[in-house]
Amino acid sequence: MRNRFDEQLARLNDLLSAMGKLCEKAIALTTQALIEQDVALAREAIGIERENDIKEKEIESLCMRLLLQQQPVAKDLRFISAALKMITDMERIGDQAADISELAIYLADQTYIKKLEHIPQMASATVKMVTESIESFIGKDLELARSVIAYDDVVDELFDAIRFDLIGMIREDGANGKQAIDLMMIAKYYERIGDHAVNISEWVEFAITGVAPKGKQSSRADAI
């Protein structure tokens, strides 16, 4: 019985890894589409959202089977519960990459008011966070999960730099306002992707330690 359970847990890890790679691909494609103002790439990135949704349902189904058929306890129960929470954040990452792609399509025929310098840096940072948050779950690596949480400061600082630059450009010339708002929204989507990677890492921490993330405590969590 335990061998079968371990096989299913390994399958869960494989599916989570695959969903994580879809998130990484979506972020990379949407960023490339934004920089190169490539509508075809943006649409390809949007298409990944549907794949992400399918993967989410597959993982959710496996988790429910594990809970109902295997009736796990203690640490095993925490890891399966954490996986269910994580896929919600991963699905939102896919959604936000698609949102950025929609804006990339809208901006494709416009001349950028400033060179996209910090946005690609934000994208790279968020890909790192998403990748390492999933790796921390698969490897049950508490130190890696906590490093992802700390790394969110890098993304926040980049967002602040973008906001400062764009506000300055609006003050210099009101005609920059419309595109500046669009670019600000893009930066905000990247910042939210980083926040979702933090959420994933916090659930990894819960799975390993049994301590629910701040603001996520519940009687159920305390009981696990």
Spell out the domain ranges in the chain: 2-223
Work out the pLDDT band at 28, boundaries 50, 70, 90.
very high
| Mean pLDDT, residues 199-219 | 79
Q: What is the per-residue pLDDT for 216?
A: 54
Q: What are the tens digits of pLDDT across the range 51-78?
A: 999 999 999 999 999 999 888 888 899 9
d(CA 138, CA 12): 9
Q: Which long-range contacts (CB under 8 A, 24 or more apart) does 21-24 make?
A: 22/48, 22/51, 22/52, 22/55, 22/94, 23/52, 23/90, 23/93, 23/94, 23/97, 23/130, 24/127, 24/130, 24/131
Residue whose structure tokens are 């008011």: 113
Structure confidence at residue 110 (pLDDT)? 96
Say yes or no to pLDDT of 85 above 90: yes
For the whole model, what pTM was predicted? 0.91
What's the pLDDT at 218? 40
Mean pLDDT of the chain: 92
pLDDT (0 to 100) of residue 212: 76
Phi, psi (deg, nearest 5) at residue 195: -65, -40
Q: At what angle do helices 39-65 and 2-36 cross, to 10 degrees?
A: 160
Looking at this protein, which amino acid is placed at residue 123? A
Query: What one-character-per-residue DSSP string does 108-141 give?
Result: TTS--SS---HHHHHHHHHHHHHHHHHHHHHTT-
- Whole-number Å distance between alpha carbons of 46 and 25: 11
Mean pLDDT highest for which of 3-17, 62-76, 181-195? Answer: 181-195
pLDDT digits (tens, 9 = 90+) for 88-123: 999 999 999 999 999 999 999 999 999 899 999 999
Q: Which of 25, 26, 54, 30 is nearest to 42 (CA)?
A: 30
Given this model, what pLDDT does residue 206 score?
94
What is the rounded end-to-end Cα distance, in angstroms, of the chain?
Answer: 22
Q: Is the pLDDT of residue 207 over 90?
A: yes
The CATH code belonging to domain 2-223 is 1.20.58.220
